[in-house]
Structure 1
Amino acid sequence: MNRNPKKKKSLLLKLSLILLILISGTLCYGFYQYKKGTQLGQQNVNKKTIKFNSTKIPNKTNILLLGEDARKKGDSSRTDSIMILQYNKKHEAKLVSIMRDSYVSIPGYGKHKINAAYSFGGAELLRQTIQQNFGIEIEYYAIIDFKGFEEMIDEIAPKGVTINVEKPMESHIGVSLQSGVQQLNGKELLGYARFRHDAKGDFDRVVRQQKVLEAIKSQVLTIKGIASLPKTLGVIQPYIQTNMSTMDLLKISSDYIVKGKDKDVETLRIPVNKAFTPKRYEKAGEVLELDLEKNKEALEWFLN
């Protein structure tokens, strides 16, 4: 059989050129979408540089996720949610929610609720507090305010995110929700995640916050959601404070959302059951007094 080396070489060259054009086109489109999203998100946002002494751990990435409750001008911001997202080289994700009423030692300030650490010294002091009390090293942080959360949801899910609302909710969340399966827009989904005025208070709210993150992941896994991921990152970036670069964000989003699409997110709540005591102190109010050893052991087993 006759083979023409020149024709074969020419075919390989053409295929390589087509592949290069496709890759370049995809990258250019992603960059265009990202820039378009950035332009959509540039509205009255003042970003600041945050000190964060991050620590890299082998084969895993720990990210401190904070939902910021920004008060009126002049008031201290508080963390409405404190989570640690970990993913590994196998694209497996684990999510730890630390209840904000956990009573812990804050370096330089004594014992307080853990969310006070953010008010006292921002993300860096909260990182130190988590490391000192639980022995967990954290590499990245990402702080998103309420406005950024709403913008993100409305961008990735214009028709809303599907959530089964367990009961009517309206107290102190800025929206009125009815029970049942429904599509929630950004403001409604935020209200659902923040609701805490029921029998179990913050305990049920932590469950809802984890449920919301899983629902967002499912939404992004649609073909349209994956295609709009660069634009979504562009939209929320003005509202997010982070030490992750744009490439970090894209890689982590791809690993966590796309490559790990067939894997469930494992979740843990701190404090774990039978490792805390509800107490009340005059200055701190209602708190959760932790059995630190039991919680550290549970957290280390879960993450490592």
Structure 2
Amino acid sequence: MTYEVDHRKPRPKRRGRRIVLTLVSVVAVIVVGALVAGMWYLNSLSSAYEDNAQTFEESFPEEEGRPVKAEDDESINILLLGSDENGGSGESEDLPRVPQGGRSDTMMLMHVPSDRDSVQIMSIPRDLWVEVPGQGQHKINAALSLGGLPLTIDTIESLFDARIDHVAAVDMLGFTGLVDSLGGVTVNSSYDQPFTTAEDFTFQPGEQEMTSEEALSFVRHRQSFPDGDLQRVRNQQAFIQAVIDQTVTPSNLSNPGRVRDLVETFSPHVIVDDTLDSGAVASLGWNLRGAVNNVDFFTVPTGESSYSDDGQWIFYQDEQAMADISEALADSTLDEYAASR
């Protein structure tokens, strides 16, 4: 099939704007699961999105040839994207950006198992060398610029032989807004040495308090790390986990006004596919209310690193890991795979 990129800014659709909890991007479904436990103020939260949330004009590839789930498979896969359009890779970018035609610089697959007892968030390294359908071999983050969201979804579905049910994107500034609302966030840095970013913030190993400016610098930085983007992915995961932990607290969830404030802070930075309507999100959130404390983060294992024939730095695939992940997604046992990492 042929993919053409539409570089026009996506137009808001009223159908998509009434998404009661578009926190459904990384922090999203997890936080939503707890928030909608208070279903009695659901309509109030919905109105908070009326003028903010947007939907993609075009999301999914043509149906022919896409993976088909087994009849008893009730798992849900949500692709989470950020783009480096309007900013290059490295210190200057606000990650993840809402993709509109650039390269997808941040890419995560959120898997909700059939039993709804947990959530797995799998980061996909942007430098992973893959077959982009109809385009040959490229870094996986090139699919967005080569064919927009449909080709990006086609590429990931082909890679893991797993169907993508929804797609969402969130600007990292949405998370930093939450950090301001929370009065700071405590993030656990997994890097075993201190490092200093271009903004002149120094981070130590282990837990530390961060302002929104410090947190944004923390998730952008990669120059200090021998494995570059892989450690940055780990930092992003640590930050997201911290925001989840400090947003979904009894004091926040028991205060409708507080929840509404958090929702209004986050929603302008989210864009989703038009199948992720308020009913779908509310239903999923309610079913996930017990999974808030059972979120697993991991990164797709890679093979050797090298240069491509055209001089790009790339990671080759770990073929066994790809096969294991594909099987776990098909069996809805990705939680077991994540626990083994």
TM-score per shorter chain, which class?
0.7 to 0.9
**Residue number among 170, 180, 187 corresponding to 1:154 in the alignment:** 180
Q: Deviations over 1:37-89 (max 9, x none)?
A: 666xx5xx9864123248774221111011233316xx952222111111123
Q: 1:141 to 1:48 in 2, by over 3 A?
A: closer
Match of 2:312 among 277, 281, 285: 285
CA distance in 2, matches of 1:123, 1:47: 12
Q: What letter corresponds to residue 50 of structure 1 in structure 2?
A: E
| Distance change >3 Å, CA 130–CA 189, structure 1 → 2 | same
1:212 Cα offset (Å): 2.0
Aligned residue in 2 for 1:220? 247
Name the CA shift for 1:33/1:132 in 2 (closer, same or farther; >3 Å): closer
Percent identity of paired positions between Structure 1 and Structure 2: 24
Given candidates 71, 86, 89, the residue that maps to 1:71 is 86
* CA deviation after TM superposition for structure 1 residue 129, in Å: 0.4
The gaps in structure 1 that reach 5 residues or longer are 1-25
Listed one character per residue, the Cα deviations across residues 3-56 of structure 1 (whole Å, up to 9, x for unaligned) are xxxxxxxxxxxxxxxxxxxxxxx65644334434666xx5xx986412324877
Question: Partners of 2:176 and 2:121 in 1: how far apart?
Answer: 21
SS of 2:195's equivalent?
coil
- The answer to which structure has the higher helix fraction is 1
Compared CA separation, residues 192 and 70, structure 1 to 2 (3 A): same
Q: Which amino acid aligns with 1:190?
A: L
Within the candidate set 247, 250, 274, 2:279 is matched to 247
Number of positions where the alignment pairs a residue of Structure 1 with one of Structure 2: 264
Partner of 1:6: none
**2:231 corresponding residue in structure 1:** 204
Shift of 1:116: 0.6
Using the size of structure 2 for normalisation, the TM-score is: 0.67
Task: Tell me the secondary structure at the aligned position of residue 227 of structure 2.
Answer: coil
Q: Which of 211, 214, 223 does residue 188 from structure 1 map onto?
A: 214
Q: How does 1:1-304 map to 2 (within 5 A)?
A: 29-36=41-48, 42=52, 48-53=56-61, 57=69, 58-71=73-86, 76-88=101-113, 89-155=115-181, 157=182, 159-165=183-189, 166=191, 167-171=194-198, 176-179=201-204, 181-197=207-223, 198-226=225-253, 227=255, 228-229=258-259, 231-243=261-273, 244-256=276-288, 258-263=289-294, 265-272=295-302, 276-283=303-310, 285-292=312-319, 294-303=320-329, 304=331
Between the two structures, name the one with larger relative contact order (CA 8 Å, sep ≥ 6): 2
CA distance 1:146–1:212, shift in 2 (3 Å): closer
Q: TM-score, normalised by structure 1?
A: 0.74
Q: 1:121 to 1:178 in 2, by over 3 A?
A: same
> Between Structure 1 and Structure 2, whose CA radius of gyration is higher?
1
What is the RMSD of the two structures over their aligned residues, measured on CA atoms?
3.0
Counterpart AA for 1:204: Q
Unaligned runs of 5+ residues in structure 2 are 1-37, 88-99, 332-341
Deviations 1:135-186 (A, max 9, x none): 121101111123333334434x2x1121134523313xx5624326333234
Q: CA, structure 1 residues 188+28, in 2 after alignment: closer, same or farther (shift >3 Å)?
A: same
SS at match of 1:112: strand
